[in-house]
Chains A and B, each alone.
Chain A
Amino acid sequence: MSAFASHKVYLVGRVASLTALLLCPAAALAQDAPAPAAPAEATPPADAAATPPAAAPATAPTNEELARRVEELDQLVRVSNRKAELAAEAAAANPPARVVTSERGFTIGDGPRDFELKLQGLVQVDGRRIFGSDDPVLRDKTDTFLVRRARLYFDATVLGLVDARIMPDFGNNTTALLDAYADLHPTAWLRLRAGKFKPPVGLERLQTDAYVPLPERALDSNLSAQRDVGAELWGDIANAAVHYELVWLNGNTDGALTDVDDEHAKTYGGRLFLRPFQLGELKAYGDLGVGFAFETGNEKGSNTIANGAASNTWLPSFKSLSQNTIFTYASSGTDATATVFASHRHTRLNPQLYYYIGPFGVLAEWIKEHQSIQKGAALDAVDNQAGHVTLSVAIGGDNSYDGVRPKAAASWKAGTFGAVELVARYGWLSIDDHAFQTYADKSKSVDKAKELAFGVNWWLNRNAKLYAAYGHTTFEDGAGKAAAPTARPTENVGIARVQVAF
């Protein structure tokens, strides 16, 4: 029985009791009423006067007294009814718990939002194909259906003060823990995050995977770490017109998400991102963001050989749009002196820019990396750099860093198509000539790469998106196949994707 129904039963009982109370005086009156006049022959005996008198009848309540009692009972009923009404209103206004489904997942929480558990997910299924390549190895590696990302993750809020996120990924034929952090946020401008999260370098890297306009990030994402472990002080000031991050991290290899540091020295960094149009009346001019991020620290690899391979160089490999390796440092499974490994200073610099207004968007950034390395006893350093510009236009929706928001979700019945996003990206990766000549594994590496990619995305709604993309990447020097270590042939790849994010 619901609380409301049980209250009704209570009310009915209450009213019945009050009615009974109201009727009591009448019953008493009836009992106390004098008997009807007896016939003459029934006159009491003469000694009746000697009989003790019967108990005096109770005084009958006056009309005023009855009216007062009625009024009191009426008030009791009215008060009881009103209290029930207010209780029902309060219950409706402050439900003890709520379950909400929205475009951002499923949320279970209490009324005041002090405690929440949000379940979100991301599934990306790709079909990839290399065009115009006579290299069967490249074709066989690339032409595939692929579960690129498969994530089911949790965000929790405790006491309205601390958030926590746990996000594993089961895509790409691996299992990895991507995010695992706690976020203490006493105010919007002062937050402390501890755990594993995205470090500050890489504007496109920081963009949520579901909102990146092409299926794979640009070439410059090769120069930033996927995740790092440590602490971050961050916040938004002046309505997020100023965003800052200060980090203290293990320091990670490019593209990596390793959890444990390899030496005692740590990496420091920060990011300042300004969005001036968030102030005052300027919002009508769109969302302009300009920022700068950096990281610097010591990372120490080794040339240890384990199981016939260099095991811990703390140096990355770089990948093209098709996710094929296009650069790797030299290593040897037999000669430790032939293996290149990280040797202390690793610095990244990263100017960032985006601008979104209405259907239009542009995002551009550049990353320069300084990496100290060692080969044998020789110490050296290389400087790599990469960047990209992405232009996007949303037809039937508004564009933003957080993806396209269709004006109307696709519906056969309503005759709406959602939104279509047209994307073009130009990017480049330039390996230090010195690194390529001396420290690269030339059988797998190129010196330079330039990418031009186009995409058409169909946003059925905020949760479902279909991608069709084509990328054309040219290379300078290096190898595309071990059998012919000369100029690597151009890579033309098509990627189709079905994505559901909630």
Chain B
Amino acid sequence: MRFVKVKSILVATLALAASGGVARADGGSPKLLNVSYDPTRELYTDVNAAFAKQWQQKTGQTVTINQSHGGSGKQARSVIDGLEADVVTLALAYDIDAIAEKSGRIGKDWQKRLPDNASPYTSTIVFVVRKGNPKGIRDWDDLIKPGVGVVVPNPKTSGGARWAYLAAWGQALQKNGGDAAKAKDYVTKLYKNVPVLDSGARGSTTTFAQRGVGQVLVSWENEAYLLVNELGKDKFEIVNPSTSILAEPPVAVVDKNVDKHGTRAVSEAYLKFLYSPEGQEIAAKHHYRPRDEKAAAKFGVLPKIKLFTIDQVFGGWQKAQADHFADGGIFDQIYQPGS
């Protein structure tokens, strides 16, 4: 055997292989998976198109962004279980923290990597009623009246539902001088009026608007506007409660997945795009409350509602989760399936 020949073949193969590798890197068409919560389908359809255009102009690459939507908690569980998300854009920080802690796929400092605690836009919780508001629903107290069917998703699986639950609890707490027992009594009565718990916000919208269940939908503000605009102002009305909660949906790059896919740069750029004037305008167009006031003004400023934060009333997400939504927590005490 001539070893020189073997060596020549090896060198030639490596040279060919290396040239192939460079060609693939230059001509790449990155693909991203954005795992998001339920009512952001329309928002990210527009964001994806705008970002892809900008990325192509900047790099020459054609980026494809796929979306996955569902209840925020359920989506987080999917990523923990191995769904190969490049970015997560979920309803609440607790769900991204859960991915970071349980899977290690996201660095624990994720909230410090982007402005405003990695939350490029905010929203709140409002009510949608049927046209003419036949039950005369004006504020939170009207939701616990007998015979009022309230539609809201399951806080165990839906981020929007957790915001809604905390909005209800927080306003009751404030109204009753911080009396937690009275707040619990209020929320207990509220969930007695809930006939169906969907797993996500979009499901609840379907339940209320298309299946005709209940008299009031407790909803994300952006989802409420989408519902009224899409399904008819002649069928539904938005009711803004006197008080609600400031919801801050966060975003993060899934570190281990982007490193595995080789998509870190494009994923980080994608999330930064949400903070750009164009990204903020898209958020405002879809009735989110952007951080940029100019963008907010461009599409009409949303009604002023007295908003409290989760830190002010509940001491942050970790405490709120442990007290209210953990197994055996207050929600489990007040709500029994089928009751």
Using CB atoms and an 8 Å cutoff, list the residues of chain A in contact with chain B: 72, 74-75, 78-79, 81-83, 85-86, 90, 112-113, 187-188, 238-239, 278-286, 355, 357-358, 360, 362, 389, 391, 393, 424, 426, 450, 452, 474
Chain B neighbourhood of A83, CB < 8 A: 196
Indicate which residue in A78, A113, A357, A474 contacts B17 across the interface (CB closer than 8 Å). A357
Q: A79 and B195: CB pair below 8 A?
A: yes
Nearest chain B residue, comparing its CB with the CB of A187: B104
With A113-B81, A357-B20 as known contacts, state yes or no: A82 contacts B196, CB within 8 Å. yes
Indicate which residue in B199, B213, B264, B265 contacts A82 across the interface (CB closer than 8 Å). B213
* A285 to B24 alpha-carbon distance, docked (Å): 8
Which of B104, B207, B213, B214 has its CB near the most chain A CB atoms (within 10 A)?
B213
Chain B neighbourhood of A188, CB < 8 A: 104
Chain A neighbourhood of B38, CB < 8 A: none
Q: B262 and A283: CB pair below 8 A?
A: yes
A-B pairs with the 9 shortest C-beta distances? A284-B25, A285-B21, A283-B262, A357-B17, A360-B17, A79-B195, A281-B262, A284-B24, A239-B260
Q: B20 and A79: CB pair below 8 A?
A: no
Flag whether B131 is at the interface (Cβ < 8 A): no
Q: B196 and A281: CB pair below 8 A?
A: no
Q: A75 and B262: CB pair below 8 A?
A: no
**B1-32 to A contact mask, C-beta < 8 Å, 1/0:** 10100100110011011101110110010000
With A238-B259, A284-B25 as known contacts, state yes or no: A474 contacts B195, CB within 8 Å. no
Nearest chain B residue, comparing its CB with the CB of A472: B1
* A428 to B27 alpha-carbon distance, docked (Å): 41
Chain A proximity of B280: nearest CB distance (Å): 28
Flag whether B212 is at the interface (Cβ < 8 A): yes
**B185-223 to A contact mask, C-beta < 8 Å, 1/0:** 000000000011011000100010001111000000000
Q: B81 and A360: CB pair below 8 A?
A: no
Chain B neighbourhood of A282, CB < 8 A: 262
Q: B28 and A284: CB pair below 8 A?
A: yes
Chain B proximity of A14: nearest CB distance (Å): 14
16 A-B pairs with C-beta separation under 8 A? A78-B212, A86-B198, A113-B81, A187-B104, A238-B259, A239-B260, A280-B264, A282-B262, A284-B21, A357-B18, A358-B20, A358-B21, A360-B16, A389-B10, A391-B9, A450-B1
Chain B proximity of A105: nearest CB distance (Å): 19
In this complex, the interface size class of chain B, counting residues with CB under 8 Å from chain A, is 35 or more
Q: B259 and A75: CB pair below 8 A?
A: no
Q: B261 and A283: CB pair below 8 A?
A: yes
Chain A proximity of B238: nearest CB distance (Å): 22
Flag whether B272 is at the interface (Cβ < 8 A): no
Chain B neighbourhood of A279, CB < 8 A: 259
* A86 to B10 alpha-carbon distance, docked (Å): 60
Q: A355 and B17: CB pair below 8 A?
A: yes
Indicate which residue in A78, A391, A474 contacts B211 across the interface (CB closer than 8 Å). A78
Chain B neighbourhood of A283, CB < 8 A: 260-262
Chain B neighbourhood of A358, CB < 8 A: 17, 20-21, 24
Chain A proximity of B21: nearest CB distance (Å): 4
Flag whether B149 is at the interface (Cβ < 8 A): yes
Besides A74-B212, A239-B259, A282-B262, 14 new A-B residue pairs in contact (Cβ under 8 A), listed by A number? A75-B214, A79-B149, A79-B213, A86-B196, A238-B259, A239-B256, A280-B264, A281-B265, A284-B28, A284-B262, A285-B22, A285-B25, A286-B17, A355-B14
* A393 to B14 alpha-carbon distance, docked (Å): 11
Indicate which residue in A85, A112, A280, A286 contacts B259 across the interface (CB closer than 8 Å). A280
Chain B neighbourhood of A360, CB < 8 A: 13, 16-17, 20
Chain A proximity of B268: nearest CB distance (Å): 12
* A452 to B14 alpha-carbon distance, docked (Å): 20
* A344 to B211 alpha-carbon distance, docked (Å): 79
Chain B proximity of A111: nearest CB distance (Å): 11
* A279 to B28 alpha-carbon distance, docked (Å): 16
Chain B neighbourhood of A85, CB < 8 A: 211
Q: A357 and B196: CB pair below 8 A?
A: no
Chain B neighbourhood of A426, CB < 8 A: 1, 3, 6
With A75-B213, A81-B211, A82-B211 as known contacts, state yes or no: A474 contacts B1, CB within 8 Å. yes
Chain B neighbourhood of A239, CB < 8 A: 256, 259-260
Chain B neighbourhood of A78, CB < 8 A: 211-213
Chain A neighbourhood of B147, CB < 8 A: 72
* A360 to B11 alpha-carbon distance, docked (Å): 12
* A393 to B16 alpha-carbon distance, docked (Å): 11
Chain B proximity of A8: nearest CB distance (Å): 17
Q: B14 and A75: CB pair below 8 A?
A: no
Which of A82, A188, A285, A424 has its CB near the most chain B CB atoms (within 10 A)?
A82
Chain B neighbourhood of A391, CB < 8 A: 9-10, 13
Chain A proximity of B131: nearest CB distance (Å): 15
Q: A79 and B196: CB pair below 8 A?
A: yes
Q: B20 and A281: CB pair below 8 A?
A: no
Chain B proximity of A237: nearest CB distance (Å): 11
Chain A proximity of B41: nearest CB distance (Å): 17
* A113 to B78 alpha-carbon distance, docked (Å): 12
* A278 to B260 alpha-carbon distance, docked (Å): 6
Chain A neighbourhood of B1, CB < 8 A: 426, 450, 452, 474
Chain B neighbourhood of A278, CB < 8 A: 259-260
Chain B neighbourhood of A113, CB < 8 A: 81
Chain A neighbourhood of B13, CB < 8 A: 360, 362, 391, 393
Nearest chain A residue, comparing its CB with the CB of B12: A391
* A78 to B208 alpha-carbon distance, docked (Å): 10
Chain B proximity of A475: nearest CB distance (Å): 12
Nearest chain A residue, comparing its CB with the CB of B210: A82
Chain A neighbourhood of B3, CB < 8 A: 426
Chain B neighbourhood of A286, CB < 8 A: 17, 21
Nearest chain B residue, comparing its CB with the CB of A473: B1
Of residues 127 to 141 in B, which have CB atoms within 8 Å of A's CB atoms?
none
Nearest chain B residue, comparing its CB with the CB of A113: B81
Which of B9, B13, B198 has its CB near the most chain A CB atoms (within 10 A)?
B13
Chain A neighbourhood of B18, CB < 8 A: 285, 357
Q: A357 and B21: CB pair below 8 A?
A: yes
Chain B neighbourhood of A281, CB < 8 A: 25, 262, 264-265
Chain B neighbourhood of A86, CB < 8 A: 196, 198-199, 203
* A82 to B207 alpha-carbon distance, docked (Å): 7
Chain A proximity of B263: nearest CB distance (Å): 8
Chain B proximity of A82: nearest CB distance (Å): 5
Nearest chain B residue, comparing its CB with the CB of A72: B147
Chain A neighbourhood of B265, CB < 8 A: 281
Chain A proximity of B171: nearest CB distance (Å): 26
Which of B16, B199, B262, B265 has its CB near the most chain A CB atoms (within 10 A)?
B262
Q: B195 and A112: CB pair below 8 A?
A: no
Chain B proximity of A446: nearest CB distance (Å): 15
* A74 to B16 alpha-carbon distance, docked (Å): 72
* A83 to B198 alpha-carbon distance, docked (Å): 9
Chain A neighbourhood of B24, CB < 8 A: 284-285, 358
Chain A neighbourhood of B207, CB < 8 A: 82
Which of B21, B147, B212, B264 has its CB near the most chain A CB atoms (within 10 A)?
B21
**B252-274 to A contact mask, C-beta < 8 Å, 1/0:** 00001001111011000000000
Which of B1, B261, B264 has its CB near the most chain A CB atoms (within 10 A)?
B1
